[in-house]
Amino acid sequence: MLELRGVTAGYGHFTALWDVTLRVEAGEAVAVVGPNGSGKTTLMRVISGLVAARTGELVFEGNSLAGRKAHEVVRHGIAHVPEGRRIFPRLSVGDNLRMGAFQPRARQAFAESRARVYDLFPVLRERERQPAGSLSGGEQQMLALGRALMSRPKLILLDEPSMGLAPVLVLRLFELIRRVREEGYTILVVEQNVRQVLKLVDRAYLLEVGRIRMEGRAAALSEQDFVRKAYVGL
């Protein structure tokens, strides 16, 4: 479904990603794990078009994404839930969801998409008229997820969904992501919470200082001594 071949990207003179090759199949859940500053967020931003790749190929369902801006990429069916949620704090919950369906194809299916989002996250229906900034951290993450679903994506990019959430909420959030996955969405997730995320996904990549160091099935990866010691903390 999504394929990156030899992607290099960065900011100014700084190179954050070196020759990254990565693949996500339809229906899969894939994680990219790695320490702070390893280039995980840049990877997500390159896929969604917020950062342009310097070299390499990005192909989504047979279409090249190279040179596409963020507002064009979302039309291809890729929704990016950015790091730190980035909901619109002074817009109501309902308006946040409306904005999620901005592109024409999504706007036509607005009512249906919203009903689905409200079924997944009933608390959003209760808070529909409240400013999004007044929601708790966990609710804001649900809203960010729901807003992304409003664009009717095929692939969802999740950047550090557990960031800033209490441990109890992290477990609940992963449960919700699992449910989103069961709805048939393909997921590419970047996480610091390696132990939890490896339970969620099928495959994982290990990213270190901008390079892919390891790739494998999630279960196999969490068994490896190196990953266990460095990231899982066992």
Partner 1 sequence: MIDPIFLLEAAVNGILLSGVLALLALGLNLIFGVVDIVWIAYVDLVMVCMYLVYFLVMIYGWPLWLAGLASVALGALLGLGVHLLIITPILGSAPVNQLLATGGLLFFLQSFATFLWTTDHRTVRLALPILEVGGMFLSFVRLIAFAISLLAMIGLWVFLRRTYIGTAIRAVSQDREAMALMGADPQRVYLVTSAVGGAMAGVAGALLIIQYSVHPFFGAAFGPLTFMICVLGGLGNMVGAFVASVVMSEIISIGGVVISTEMGYVIAFVVFIVMMFVRPGGLLVRRG
Residues that bind partner 1 (CB under 8 A): 48, 50, 69-71, 74-75, 79-80, 82, 86-91, 95, 98-100, 102-103, 106-107, 131, 133-134, 147, 151
Min dist CB 154 to partner 1, Å, is 14
Q: Least CB distance from residue 98 to partner 1, whole Å? A: 6
Q: Which residues contact 127 (CB under 8 A, 6 or more apart)?
A: 93, 135, 139
Ramachandran region, residue 164 (left: φ > 0; alpha: ψ -120 to 50; beta: rest): left
DSSP 131: B
153 versus 210: smaller Cβ distance to partner 1: 153
Q: Supply the minimum distance, in Å, between the C-beta of residue 47 and partner 1.
A: 11
Angle at 203 between CA 221 and CA 34, to 5 degrees: 60
Q: Nearer to partner 1 by C-beta: 71 or 199?
A: 71
Select 40 or 147, whichever has its Cβ closest to partner 1: 147
Rounded to the nearest angstrom, the gap between the alpha carbon of residue 110 and the centroid of all alpha carbons in its chain is: 21
Q: Residue 133 gets which letter from DSSP?
A: G
Residue (107 or 195) nearer to partner 1, CB: 107
